[in-house]
Structures are given as structure tokens and as C-alpha cells.
Structure 1
């Protein structure tokens, strides 16, 4: 994906991103010189794809205590997995507790990089996100991904596991949050049950559906189930906004068919739900449609709908 011509303002979602005194940037994306980015994972390698799986805990028992100002999230506007995390930060009112910056939208074999598009790395002055991984594990040979959580205190990557990172942000920073509870204990089993079929069919199946008929059938079946579920409620679980909604919405926002009039007619409750969530300030602030779709917001996407 080519780099965008515009750059959002230095404050994203309320978080003022401190600038380094001397900006350092990676050279432009150059696949001809460096090759395309690939994920090399030896089937015999037991390590997970998302190799850094540290957990944040309020009491520090994990080795990484939840503290204001200690952690930084390297994110990407284009990435649904990263947006899950930035949404948690915004919805929990943690913008001044956990800082966020953004990598450029395109990459070559060097991986994600910091360029003029969104500014330099404000924490370490790295030019490549890979530098953070290399600083944590010299000779790093795995997947360089966003979101990446960096610990200023230990000077290392704590996690690039988007699933557990989002949960930790939702549950371990309550001392500094606005009181939102997006992962309530009494709803966690139901959230997990939903994820067991929404994850494969929607989150991981939406892109495959464009060229795989089996994946498309599973996706449309999931859309139908979701449409029925949302016929008389504004949210997926418990009548309130939860982690389940964040997980689904970031994929719906990037689904090419969201502008398809027939699909919206076939699943009116689902797409009304998606547009309704987009009206919430946190969803707007963490979304840049131009990084993953046509720069023109799809017709009706920005139109509020009735609740329920």
C-alpha cells in the first residue's frame, strides 16, 4: 500500500506524541531493492508467530506493572489488530497514560518503518520497528508486527500479542481509567464463545472471502447470524459496549463489501450497528479510512442510525 500524502495532527485520540529532538526516518519503501516483506516461520519452530507475550498486571506480578507513562504502543492506522488496542486506550480514557505513535503505511523486507507520513519514533528514535525487536532479542528472526508494546523502564518489547494486550489494557489500568468496563468478568465466557466463530469466519476470513468460496460462504453465514443477533440490541453482549464489539468492528470497517448496497440490504442490522459505533468519538479518532480503503467514505457510512 503506498504511503499516504497527508499526515494526521500530532495529537491522536487525545494523546500528544512527543517528538524526538532530531527526527530520524527510514528511507522510502523500496521493494525493488530490499524485496517484499515475508513472514518466515519454520514449521519446526515452537515459538508463536507473535513472539512477545508479556502481560501487564496491576500488582506487577507479571514483571510488568501497569503504570502511567511507562509504556508506549507502536501502532498502524491500517491494521485492525492494532486498532483493537488503540480503541481500548481511547475508550478507557488512557490517552495520557499510555502513549501511541504510528508507523508508515507501507513496508518492504525491512518491515514497518517510521517516515515523515506520521513522524519519527518519539520514544527511541528508531527508523525501523525491527530495531525495537532487535534491541529486545538480538538477531531477531520473527514477525515484526503492530501493535507492539514497548516498556520504557526495561527498554524492551513486552508484547506484540494483540489479543492479550487488549485485555490487559481493559482490565489492569482501572486506577487511571475513566471507569469503562469493556471486558466485564460476567460476560467473558460469552465474549470468548462469540470469538470462537467470529474470529475464523469474519476477522480472519473477510479477506480470504474475496477469492475463496468456502470462506465467503462462512463469512456471509456469520453476517446473517450477527444480523439476527443485532435485530433488537445495540451491542453484541450484555446490552453494553464490550471487547466483542471492538473485535468485530475493526474488521467491518475494513471490509470492502461495506459499500456494497446489496450486502447492506441483506444485513441491515449489522451495518446499522457498524455505522452507529462509528459515531462514537473513540471509533472516529482511531480510524483513518484512507489507510485501508478508498479515500471517500462509503455512502451512508457517516450517517447516524437509530439505536437498537
Structure 2
């Protein structure tokens, strides 16, 4: 399967430059082979954090080596200099930023994908071999519901804190954010896809979304809005429990997230910046702290 360059979209960063997929067998071109692929990512980036947690839950350190990148890219265009050779080998006369995350193919020296959600899904679905399933049988529809609600929450949170949006637009976005959080809380109440004792892809998406809300988006919301977000107690209780898990807490680079946010953000800081919802570092176990970079 060939990685296809994509065109840009309307979000705050360029579209993924490549979107190849890992298939189920050799006919797909890219298929799961131990040590064939390598991940390049920063855990300060939400896509990178999602992939890193998935990678740890599956125990893929040997099967798919991981290279960590700095929280703040080192190129003026927002890319990483270390990724430039991969991009140039994968697209003739590539002139865009060399963005992370990247799943590369060591056999060809080229990029398979730069699309974070696809990378996480392919790791979970294609690298089996007795590893825990993050998409247990019968739960995929509910997991997809959680993923959709998380994307809605993240998009609404960004608009709710956008100083260039109108007051009405920000208010509507906040309502959309709270509605999405309510939907996520209902999914927790159903306790099917996020079953006690069985972590799934839904837990990863939920946790990364809540990390972003409290460490990034909160800084551009007013205090009353942050308090309404914090009132979804079941969600934040879940976030505390997940943070104590080594696969989650070990990758929580709070300083890196803050530096990346400050390097990228051009918005105004609001009163919500002073209303932290969780003390994330306090919920990481001692084992997690010893693994943090």
C-alpha cells in the first residue's frame, strides 16, 4: 500500500503528509513485522501521547522501536530537523514541515503514515501475538462513540477559548464541549467499553482529551467555564486512576506540554488558567516518576 500525500485542511496545523496503513498480510504492502517499523513522536503532542500510551499498553518496545522527539520542534516551520531525511525520501521535492508523529518503514527508509489516529489504531489492531486487545470483541462501536465525542470535545474546547471568535460562538462552543463531556460520562456509566480491569482504546482517547483540557485549553477559558468542566466528576476520577497506570503516567510530560503550548499559542490567557482541575503529577505513582524522561 502506498502512502498518499494529502492536502491541507482547516485546522491549526497542516494535514498529515502521508496516510499509509498497516495491513493484515503481505498483499497490503505494509504489514506487521517485528522491528520493521519505527515510531518518531513527542509526548507533548496529543497525537504523540496517544500513540505512546497505546505502544506501552501493547508492550511494543521490541517489535516497534520508539524514538522520542523534543517537545518544541527545532525548525522555524514547526517541524523536526531529524525527520527531514524521512520526508525527503518519501516525497519528491517535499517542501512542507517535517511534522511528528511519524511511522517509518526501516526496510524502505520511507514514511508509512503521519496520521496519529491511524497509527494508534494500526498498532492496536495489527500487532497481535498474544498482546492485550484494545478493541475487545463487541466493543468497537462504543469505542468509536468515545473517539467521536473526544474529537468533538477537543474541537469545541479550542473554539471556546478562541479570542478571535465572537462571544456567541465561544458560548455555543462551550455548550458543545459540555455536551460532549456529558456524553462521555454517560459512556462511563454504561461501563461496557471502558470495563473495570480491561483497558481499551477508549480509555486512551478519553485520558488524552482530559489531559489537553486541563493542561492546554483551560488557560484560555474563564474560571466559571473551567468549574463547569470540572463538575464532570466521573470523568476526572477516571483520569486520576488512569494517570496512576504506568502506561499512562510515565508518558505525561507536563513541562513539555507547557513548553509546546507556549511556543505555539498566540491566544490570550484567561482566568481559567488559575483553576487547575487535577494535580496530575500527584496522581502518578513512584514507578511512573522514575520512568519519566
Q: 1:56 aligns with which of 14, 22, 25?
A: 22
1:249 alignment counterpart: 207
**8 A Cα contact 2:146 2:187, kept in partner:** no
Residues in 1 aligned to 2:209 and 2:125: alpha-carbon distance in whole angstroms: 23
Task: Describe the superposition over 1:75-95 as per-residue Cα deviations: whole angstroms up to 9, x where unpaired.
Answer: 012111112211111000111
Distance, in Å, in 2 between the alignment partners of 1:197 and 1:263 is: 17
* TM-score of the pair, normalised by structure 1: 0.69
CA displacement 1:123-142 (0-9 Å, x = unmatched)? xxxx4323311111121244
- SS of the residue aligned with 2:54? helix
What do the CA deviations read for 1:100-148 (whole angstroms, capped 9, x no partner)? Answer: 11222224434332xxxxxxxxxxxxx4323311111121244533210
Maintained 8 Å contact 2:41/2:48: yes
Kindly indicate whether the alpha-carbon contact (under 8 Å) linking 1:190 and 1:237 is maintained by their aligned counterparts in 2: no
RMSD of the TM alignment (CA)? 3.0
**Following TM superposition, by how much is the alpha carbon of 1:279 offset from its aligned partner in structure 2, in angstroms?**
0.7
Asked if 1:92 is matched to 2:46, the reply is: no
Q: In the alignment, what sits opposite 2:31?
A: 65
Residues in 2 aligned to 1:149 and 1:254: alpha-carbon distance in whole angstroms: 23
Quote the residue 1:137 is aligned against. 91
Aligned residue number for residue 77 of structure 1: 43
Q: Runs of 4+ in structure 1 displaced over 6 angstroms? A: 257-261
How far 1:73 moved relative to its partner?
A: 0.6
Structure 1: give runs of 5+ residues left out of the alignment.
1-39, 114-126
State the 1:291 CA deviation: 1.1
Whole-angstrom distance in 2 between the partners of 1:299 and 1:85: 22
* 1:207 equivalent in structure 2: 158
Cα displacement (A) at 1:41: 5.2
What does the per-residue CA deviation read over 1:185-232, in whole Å, with 9 as the maximum and x for residues that have no partner? 421122223333331x22333222212332221111212232344347
- Change over 3 Å in CA distance of 1:197–1:42 after alignment to 2: closer
Q: Does 1:180 align with 2:147?
A: no
**How much does 1:245 deviate?**
1.6
Instruction: Say if 1:264 and 1:271, in contact at 8 Å, map to a contact too.
Output: no
Q: 1:303 to 1:264 in 2, by over 3 A?
A: farther
